Structure 1
Amino acid sequence: MPALPEHDFEDRLCQVFHETGESFVPDTPRLAMGGATRGRRRQRRRLALGAAAAVLAVSGLGAAVLPSALHTNGTGPAASPVPSPPVSDPPDAARIPQEAHLASAVAERLPKGLKIVRSDGSTQGSAAFPTNRAWAELVLDDGQGQSLLSVGVFNPHRGAIQPCDQSPFTELECRQTPQPDGGTVAVMQYTGKDANPSRFTAVEWVTADGMTITATSHNVARRGGTPDRPEPLLSAAALSSLATDPSWRTIASQLLAVMPDSTSTNASVQRPDLLPPGLKVVSSTAGAEQTATLADGDRTVVLRLQEEAADRSVLDWFADAPTLPDDTRIRSVANRPVPATQGSTETVVDVLRPDGRRVRVTAVNPAGAGSPDAGRAPLLTLDQLTAIARCPGWTVPAPD
């Protein structure tokens, strides 16, 4: 078989390993987003936080989900202290509560002493959008060069697969080991054919019921980039320890098997004027979750836009939210640190439009340890994100 270009190889590999099984009917309900009566909502939030603390303490995921004031463990990589930026703290009904970041959960499970240079990933929480996967990407540095780490979590309803049996690539060395529970752990290693080749090592844990965790360490700092070090930073043994952590099942159980249709009924609207002048669109993607990486020459911001039709739980979640003159309801949080990431922050605006469409716009400052931007607010402000969220049909611009 002829060798694929390296920039196509990993995309194809992911496609082979992570078929989502669209014939499956999802039987995992979306995360509960409330539904209590307005009079009981605040009390239930307090009770839920206490219950979550108890459950997550058992599962080991508490540090990734609970507010930073409740973090008590000392695990995770060491880093220079980063000053915490100011965090908006409007009344409960207006504020988006703390959510679980997969990047935080991964960071808590890394070997000590690593710097997190950059991070981004998906979130889960009482009002997070439904999704069929959780993901995180972190750029790590051990002093010998930077290395991209990517982690993906898929729920048990997608159907079990055998990674090595399905790989059509001659460039990939794949070893698969049966596990006592009936699942498998596959260790995959890839080396490109260039004089200074790209390499990655991946470990995939597939349980007997189909829960799948992948952890991949690269010798490049960004996808498609040139190697920054001879070998991936994390060894197969370190990746195996990360991928087979049993606490990932808590996250996997909350994922859908198939993504719901969230197509907007509005025509696409190109309104680049809603982005501040001087921001260049470095990359962008379309789909259920639009994303764009924007840069002003010195700093970078990751912009995400999600949209769905509001169901009853969404309506309840917005019931007490502030209402704008056009009847748009809005909840937000500005400049909030992403726990354990050594500097990443986020600003989020979530609106319920009068037409019943819900739109969430997130801006992430991905900068971490060693960056002068660590701990700073994202490049896009709360007002700018609000303008985007309130613009029906707004789409992420194409790369410049």
Structure 2
Amino acid sequence: MPSADHDPFEERFAGALRETGTAFATDQQELVARGETRGRRLRLRRRAAVAGGVTAVVLVGLGGALVLPGGQDGGGRHRSVADGPSGRATSAAPGTAAPGSSVSSVSGDELVRTLEKLLPKGHFSDAHGRGTDDSPFAQVVYDDGRGKAAVAVSLNRVPAGSQEAVQTTQCPDKVYIAYDSCTSGKLSDGSALMVLKGYEYPNKRSGTKLWTAELVTPTGEHVSVQEWNAAAEKDAPVTREHPPLSATQLKTLVSAPEWRAAVGAVPVDPRMTAVPSATPTHHGSVPATLARLVPRGLEIVSRSQSDDYEFGYVVVDDGRGASLVQINVQRDMRDVENQLFGAGTRTLPDGTKVVRRKQSGEKGIAGIVMWTVDTIRPDGRRVVISAFNSGAQNTPATRQAPALTMKQLETIATDPKWLKLG
């Protein structure tokens, strides 16, 4: 689906990626394919935060979730999104003061009890929770008599008034995320709320539905609710046609005052409130720049509408079918340069490193391919561009190959216009 972008969250997330870049081994193609997009492409990033924060994550494509490396615990069991790093539930000791917070910490057990209290009458099992001292969440398997369903709540803070705060509650772009309905608006207290009825997988495979509610208060408290029509978010059989809570019930649950009180115990990251040393000067947005660089003979049939300074996309058609082209611009990635630019890298006369890759696109969608050109300038500015043989990342192929050649993609990625974006 998020949420973030270079605002302070972008800095924190980029920092987490850099810090963990040397902490685990990962396939470079996977890193590039899944690491192209950040910011609002983190629409479901909270599910990884529930699974233990950003201590070991790989970025996923636009609108997708963050996933933990591996996806299983040491015993081969698929780890629930609510499991801690060891696969066991954890909780903070009640009554202890959270650093940077004026409210005593809330334990995982207390969050679980609150979730059970706020849900309609039913049977609860397989409860997990973690307290406000460490990526707080609560998850239960809930059965209202119509089938078991996982229901989870996670708590967080976002910088008030930031782009992350705004985009967390914006409906995602269907170019990247398949969903049935989405509503976004304001509550009477000024909080922003989004309710999304979507799917666990972007291409709807497996039939597992994921319905979410995202609430961000004017002061940055973030409450996220997720529910599935299965007892676990992945690798569990569908037990009912729809998740148990209606859109109205999701709204009631996510806006319950108990969650806002608990967020008050979440430690404040000082980087969220620090005044930036300088305000970046931008000379045009990524989407607008990409649109100007599209080769002649290609019709732009749609494009991203936001004035984003890191990400943009266009859907082009040369008369043979739609083709999605997306690009990311990242300011300084020298600290992970060796991970991204290894075998097959060429160095241009100006010192820019270039690597080309051809690979499959979205898992589970037959025939879709993704062609990528990844570049990094000597100052660390990374420009990575990908093209698909489909008009969306999560729909079947509309043509045999992307509309742009590798040479055309490289020409766009190495264009000096990217150096003027700030």
* TM-score (norm. length: structure 2): 0.41
User: Which one scores higher on RCO, CA 8 angstroms, separation ≥ 6?
Assistant: 1
TM-score normalized with structure 1 length: 0.42
